[in-house]
A and B are shown apart, each in its own frame.
Chain A
């Protein structure tokens, strides 16, 4: 985590980078393990000078793992091939991003969104990725929604449990989950108000 925040600062090098004492970079580089280093190099002192845009790569271990999983099990990968793909990957990301960014500018928008990325891929000859990516995004969004749903239900179920102690009708917890749930909570709690001190706090939320 520390590594990431440091590298974010580093990307705004310009004056900030120059202003920072070189010892800051040295410490950062020493804290880094191989995979987290921007260049995956070990030279701490040279870090500041070597930190050019084109030197930002994804960790070679991750890249190598994906390559290994792609080729048949028994295949081997030469070291310079791994390093080479590492560079290609950065090039690919920049390639897609600049195409998407250009389209954004043309349409006078400031934020690159998912559509821009998909369109850029299609334009640049990677249209075979587009359909799988759309599917992936859909699944990811569903997964996110699912998590939010669960957290809501957990809270209301907790309150429901307390209320059933007061022998309220069972449909009430289900009612709480609906859109009007909060108001119903207030109505319900007023009757329990005097009896359960804990419920008082819930009213304020």
Chain B
């Protein structure tokens, strides 16, 4: 279901010729990668447009996948959950750690220690 919506969104984007992201900034980010010397104009435009698609994809997937049914809003944890569950977004797991409450973490630690003791 969400994939069909995704395709529709992508179609809409393709029809619009305007780019809503600053190309110079995209170039800056690309150049910050090691060993990158020259970037073709086509490559730059494609990357910028792809980034737009990516933002839409991530936002929509997370919104539909997450707790938005209850709260009607997209939260950090929706993003973190989607990133963990979707293979395509797995490269983001390092920068999107799931947030857990400190006391939950301590509880988990305690339980782990108990298991070790039992062993």
Interface positions of A (Cβ within 8 A of B): 4, 7-8, 11, 53, 56-59, 62-63, 65-67, 69-72, 74-78, 80-81, 84-85, 87-98, 100-101, 105, 110-114, 116-118, 121, 124-126, 128-129, 132-133, 135-137, 139-140, 143
The answer to whether residues A113 and B43 also contact, given A76-B72, A78-B74, A93-B26 and a CB cut-off of 8 A, is yes
The answer to whether residues A116 and B43 also contact, given A75-B72, A78-B75 and a CB cut-off of 8 A, is yes
- Complex A-B: 10 CB contacts under 8 Å: A11-B31, A57-B29, A71-B60, A78-B74, A84-B76, A89-B54, A117-B43, A124-B91, A136-B13, A137-B45
Q: Does B37 contact A (CB under 8 A)?
A: yes
A4 to B26, CA, bound (A): 11
Min C-beta distance of A197 to chain B, whole Å: 42
A76 to B1, CA, bound (A): 21
A67 to B30, CA, bound (A): 22
A5 to B39, CA, bound (A): 17
Query: B9, A111: Cβ atoms under 8 Å?
Result: no
Contact with A along B1-29 (1 / 0, CB 8 A): 00000110111011001001110111011
- Number of B positions contacting A (CB below 8 A): 60
Q: Which of B14, B55, B63 has the most CB of A within 10 A?
A: B55
Q: Does B42 contact A (CB under 8 A)?
A: yes
Interface positions of B (Cβ within 8 A of A): 6-7, 9-11, 13-14, 17, 20-22, 24-26, 28-40, 42-43, 45-47, 49-60, 62-63, 68, 72-76, 78-79, 87-88, 91-92, 95-96
Inter-chain CB contacts under 8 Å: number: 189
Min C-beta distance of B29 to chain A, whole Å: 5
The answer to whether residues A96 and B78 also contact, given A62-B22, A66-B55, A126-B54 and a CB cut-off of 8 A, is no
Query: B13, A111: Cβ atoms under 8 Å?
Result: no
Query: A126, B72: Cβ atoms under 8 Å?
Result: no
Query: A62, B20: Cβ atoms under 8 Å?
Result: yes
The answer to whether residues A91 and B60 also contact, given A85-B55, A137-B45 and a CB cut-off of 8 A, is no
